[in-house]
Amino acid sequence: MNKCIIYKISIILCVVLCFSSCKHHDEEYHSVTDKIKAESKDYHGTSISSEAYIDHINTIEVTENDITFLIPERKGEIKSYSCTECHSKPLTQMQNEDLKKAHWDIKLSHADKMTMNCVTCHNGNDMDFLQSLTGDQIDFNASHLLCSQCHQKQFNDWTGGAHGKRIESWAPPRASMTCVNCHNPHTPGFESKWPERYNTQKINERK
Ligand code: HEC
Ligand code: HEC
Ligand code: HEC
Ligand code: HEC
């Protein structure tokens, strides 16, 4: 009997407490975002820095969707750059000549042939640049802008840090891998693979 009363009282207390505290917050903030903004007003970041860990990689600063962060430099990583060492004239001209086939190792398996060929992304008149769908030059170091034309959702997620991956550490300054660090632009999909610890042989043996 006694236990039951105590139980009831505690439930009532809980309900009262909860309502009073919820109400308090509701009045103060319109949304969770408002609350985060207000309560982090006096937060000036952390004294921890990831600078020491990203020191060894060559990075460049980008600002996309009003967010500024670092991405790895690309041109130094591309074996056949600069392209104009061979592409000294427009591609259409080169293709008419009887040259040895180049880039035989590149297979395009991205969008279908109706949607995409080499010069959808590469600038046939100046091979040292990529190009947008409207023919504007895009630097090889900013290839994320090329991808963003058709993959807005992943691009926006990436600028916010939800798609892709940080390099080394969460601490500022933020350095993030760029699209081509993970996706080969010519064959951007990943092959599906079994989890490392999923042993199909064992499953069969157990049957
Ligand atoms: C060692 C010389 C050489 C270098 C360096 C080179 N190319 Fe080429 N590329 C060629 C030749 C030759 C052709 C024409 C023959 C062919 O189509 O295979 C060609 C053709 C192409 C084509 C057209 C392919 C097709 O099937 O229509 C593209 C696109 C291209 N190159 C892009 C590049 C880019 C981008 C770079 C730099 C990152 C580059 N190339 C660097 C020699 C080179
Ligand atoms: C979806 C856009 C896209 C298409 C289509 C495309 N490329 Fe590329 N290509 C890129 C990007 C972006 C890079 C730079 C990648 C990096 O930073 O590593 C690149 C790099 C290259 C390179 C230098 C890298 C290497 O492996 O030597 C060559 C050569 C090249 N492309 C040739 C071609 C040829 C030939 C075709 C057509 C068969 C083609 N590309 C189609 C986007 C594209
Ligand atoms: C001209 C438009 C266009 C551009 C530019 C483009 N893509 Fe795509 N991409 C497509 C289309 C179309 C598909 C196939 C349809 C789909 O899966 O959504 C595709 C598919 C993909 C896929 C899924 C592949 C799979 O097998 O599931 C990835 C990943 C991808 N693209 C990454 C990139 C990256 C990275 C870049 C920049 C280097 C890029 N794309 C540039 C149009 C584009
Ligand atoms: C750290 C590596 C990484 C980076 C950086 C990255 N991606 Fe991806 N992306 C992935 C993985 C992993 C998947 C999931 C592949 C799967 O499910 O098969 C993916 C999936 C995708 C897909 C296919 C989505 C679908 O539902 O099939 C597209 C398109 C894509 N990424 C575009 C981009 C673009 C554009 C950028 C740059 C703005 C980018 N990615 C940067 C790793 C990355």
Q: 106: which DSSP letter?
A: -
Q: Is the CB of 132 under 6 A from ligand 2?
A: no
Tell the residue nearest (CA) to atom 3 of ligand 3. 150
Tell the residue nearest (CA) to atom 19 of ligand 2. 185
Helices 32-39, 2-28: crossing angle, 10 deg rounding: 80
Strands (E), the chain: 59-64, 67-72, 130-131, 137-138
Ligand 3 centroid to Cα of residue 73, in Å, is 21
Ligand 4 centroid to Cα of residue 192, in Å, is 13
Taking a C-beta distance cutoff of 8 angstroms, is the pair 143, 74 a contact?
yes
- pLDDT bracket for residue 154 (50, 70, 90): very high
Distance CA 70, CA 183 (A): 18
Return left, alpha or beta for 70; rule: phi > 0 is left, psi -120 to 50 is alpha, else beta.
beta
Q: Is the CB of 144 under 6 A from ligand 4?
A: yes
Of 174 and 40, which is predicted with more confidence?
174
DSSP-assigned letters across all residues of 136-196: -EE-GGGTHHHHHTT-HHHHHHHHHTSSS-BSS-SSSSPBB--HHHHS-SSS-SPPP---T
pLDDT of residue 169: 86
In whole numbers, what is the pLDDT of the chain averaged over residues? 89
Ligand 2 pocket mutation, candidates 60, 106, 107, 178, criterion most atoms within 8 A of CB:
106
- Report, as an integer, the average pLDDT of 24-41: 81
Q: Which pair of tokens denotes residue 33?
A: 């975002």
Of 199 and 141, which is predicted with more confidence?
141
Tell the residue nearest (CA) to atom 10 of ligand 1. 102
Q: Is the pLDDT of residue 207 over 80?
A: no
User: Which ligand 4 atom lies nearest to the CA of residue 192?
Assistant: 18
Ligand 2 pocket mutation, candidates 99, 101, 118, 186, criterion most atoms within 8 A of CB:
186
Ligand 3 centroid to Cα of residue 186, in Å, is 9
- Report, as an integer, the average pLDDT of 171-175: 93
Tell the residue nearest (CA) to atom 33 of ligand 2. 118
Q: Is the CB of 44 under 6 A from ligand 2?
A: no
